[in-house]
Amino acid sequence: MEMSVEGKSKQTVLTVKSGTPAAKRAVAKLFGRLAAMEHLDSAPYRARVKALFGKVLAPEAVVARILNDVRDQGDAALIHYAQKIDGVPLTPKTLRVSDAERIAAAKSVSPKLRAALELAAERIADYQRRLMPADIAPRAAKHGPAGVKSGLAWSPLRRTGVYVPGGTAAYPSSVLMNAIPAQVAGVKEIAIASPCGKDGMLSAGVLCACEILGITEIYRLGGAQAIGALAFGTKSVKSVEKIVGPGNLFVMLAKRAVFGHVDIDMLAGPSEVLIIADTSARADFIAADLLAQAEHDALASCVLVTDCAELAKAVEAELKKQLETLPRKQIAEAALRDWGLIVVTPNLEASIELANDLAPEHLEVLTENAAAVATKLHTAGAIFIGPYATEPLGDYMAGPSHTLPTGGTARAFSGLSVYSFLRRTSLIEADAKGLKALSEAIATLADAEGLEAHKRAVLIRG
């Protein structure tokens, strides 16, 4: 098994000395891929873009063109790009999935799958309900008059769009993980957009998940055009206030482009996992978890960081063994080849330092005293503690949403939750006595900023 270091030399184990900038950059490249991906320049990409637009455009320019067309032409642009990009003939009437189609699809899935989706839905909703914040009733501050009070009220967004990826696989779990936090937060209208197959059909599993949640507004839309429809609205698609959910490069760039016109959750790119392990960890567990991430996408990033060279070699052997029987072997193999790495560090502290620098989407801790190690980790989308907290548990059943920040953005962003769908509104109360007690200080500040009307608005009240 060969894994790339900086996309150049092919080697399996990279020895990293604690604090070495060059070594850290080599590993960090695997988690900072958005900038590189924005400059796609392969022959198939150039040919396809030229066929679509008459000239070669960078991905960002492609997205800008599609978004402008959707904003200006509405449904006509959605139908045009569905045909040209996805090869799917749609009409304004077939953009939206009918109730009959949704119900029939939900009935067609196996009872076992439906039961699993229902169990996951219950667990996700229970977790999100525990997160719901309470309003803060207005009260006086410690410093100042009792007659001036401040507080906070939470209120849900009215309408949200959820993008559910398609393509190489369908993800019913993404419906649950993105829509349930919105429902628990109190969002009344949720629109789903998901790419359909060449036959125009959406995944029965995706439609079953929608049926379980009572979501009836579902569109056969994928790519940047779906994001444009949700952001700007068309005759057939009502605009939303926020767009959530992961997608490919073009979906991610489209979300970035419409941010400000609508809100978005984050720029969630290709999935990634970083595993910290020591001599107590099992090589077969680690290999299985790396492959679980690698099979998502050829761009998925899979990194093991360990202070044990023997474990690194054992994991390499296990990867070769387990890959042989993996149905999505070709995808997983490409991910490991281009975006996989095994790193040997001098000690556990160096492994922790490296993980905190990288801020991965998923961070597994397979060490002795894993809970204690986890307290030292501060920048990750989700932390999985101990040998049985495998990342797929988080993908499906643990409860927290699996929509998480990638590409190192976990340094500043958090995973999707009810907080993503709630607005905070400040509450301010005052009586005459309280305002008068603060009026001199307010007038002084208004004078300092040259805002005479501000001062007068206070002083006129006595």
User: Cβ contacts of residue 123 below 8 Å, gap of 6+?
Assistant: 397, 398, 399
Backbone angles phi, psi at 430, to 5 degrees: -155, 145
pLDDT at 9 over 80: no
Confidence of residue 48 (pLDDT cuts 50, 70, 90): confident
- What angle is formed at CA 79 by the lines to CA 76 and CA 82, rounded to 5 degrees? 145
Longest dimension (CA), the chain: 82
Specify the amino acid at residue 294: A
Q: What is the DSSP string of 200-253?
A: SPPPHHHHHHHHHHT--EEE---HHHHHHHHHH--SSS---SEEE----HHHHH
CA–CA distance, 245 with 449 (Å, rounded to integer): 43
| Residue range 378-408, pLDDT digits in tens | 999 999 999 999 999 999 999 999 999 988 8
88's tokens: 């799917």
- pLDDT score recorded for residue 27: 67
DSSP-derived 3-state class of residue 29? helix
- Alpha-carbon dihedral 432, 436, 438, 442, rounded to 10 degrees: 110
Rg over CA atoms, the chain: 25
Predicted confidence at residue 155, as pLDDT, reads: 98
Smallest CA-to-CA distance from 163 within 220, 111, 236, 233 is with 220
Angle between helices 249-258 and 59-73 (to 10 degrees): 60
Cβ(197)–Cβ(86) below 8 Å: no
Alpha helices (runs of H) in 74-222, residue ranges in sequence order: 75-86, 99-108, 111-131, 172-185, 204-213
pLDDT confidence band for 23 (50 / 70 / 90): low
> 306, 278 in Cβ contact below 8 A?
yes
Residue 412 has pLDDT above 50, yes or no: yes
For residues 277 and 306, give the distance between their C-alpha atoms in angstroms, rounded to a whole number.
5
Instruction: Give me the amino acid identity at 195.
Output: P
Instruction: Name the residue among 276, 271, 228, 282 with its Cα closest to residue 248.
Output: 271
Q: What is the pLDDT of residue 20?
A: 61
Entry pTM: 0.91
DSSP label at 353? H
- Across the chain, mean pLDDT equals 91
Secondary structure (3-state) at 423: strand
How many Å apart are CA 98 and CA 424, to the nearest integer?
Answer: 36
Catalytic residue among 272, 361, 364, 391: 361
Of 244, 233, 170, 245, residue with least CA distance to 201: 170
Instruction: Please answer whether residues 70 and 92 qualify as being in contact, where contact means their C-beta atoms are separated by less than 8 angstroms.
Output: no
| Confidence tier at 226 by pLDDT (50, 70, 90) | very high
Give the single-character DSSP code of 167. Answer: S
Tell me, what's the pLDDT at 293? 94
Active site annotation includes 80: no
Give me the domains of the chain, ranges plus CATH numbers.
Answer: 13-33+270-399 (3.40.50.1980), 43-86 (no CATH), 99-264 (3.40.50.1980), 431-459 (no CATH)
Please report the pLDDT score of residue 302 as a whole number: 92
Q: How far is Cα 370 from Cα 336, in angstroms, rounded to an integer? A: 26
Q: For residue 192, what are the β-bridge partners? A: 162, 218
Contact 202, 82 (CB under 8 A): no
Q: In what order do the strands lie in the sheet with 148-156?
A: 136-140, 148-156, 422-430
Q: 454 an active-site residue?
A: no
Burial string for 21-42 (b: 16+ CB within 10 Å, else e) reads eebbebbebbbbbbeebeeeee
Phi, psi of 167, rounded to the nearest 5 degrees: 95, -115
User: Which is catalytic among the residues 211, 296, 318, 362?
Assistant: 362
| Residue % of the chain over a pLDDT of 90 | 76
Confidence of residue 2 (pLDDT cuts 50, 70, 90): very low
Helix (H, G, I), strand (E, B) or coil at 162: strand
In angstroms, rounded to a whole number, what is the distance separating the alpha carbons of residues 423 and 431?
27
Question: Tell me: the pLDDT tens digits for 303-326?
Answer: 999 999 999 999 999 999 999 999
Separation CA 303–CA 358 (nearest Å): 11
Contact 272, 242 (CB under 8 A): no
203 contacts 173 by C-beta, under 8 angstroms: no
Q: How far apart are CA 275 and CA 283, in angstroms?
A: 11
**What pLDDT score was predicted for residue 45?**
83
- CB neighbourhood size of 69 (10 A): 18
pLDDT over 90 at 189, yes or no: yes
3-state class (DSSP) for residue 428: strand
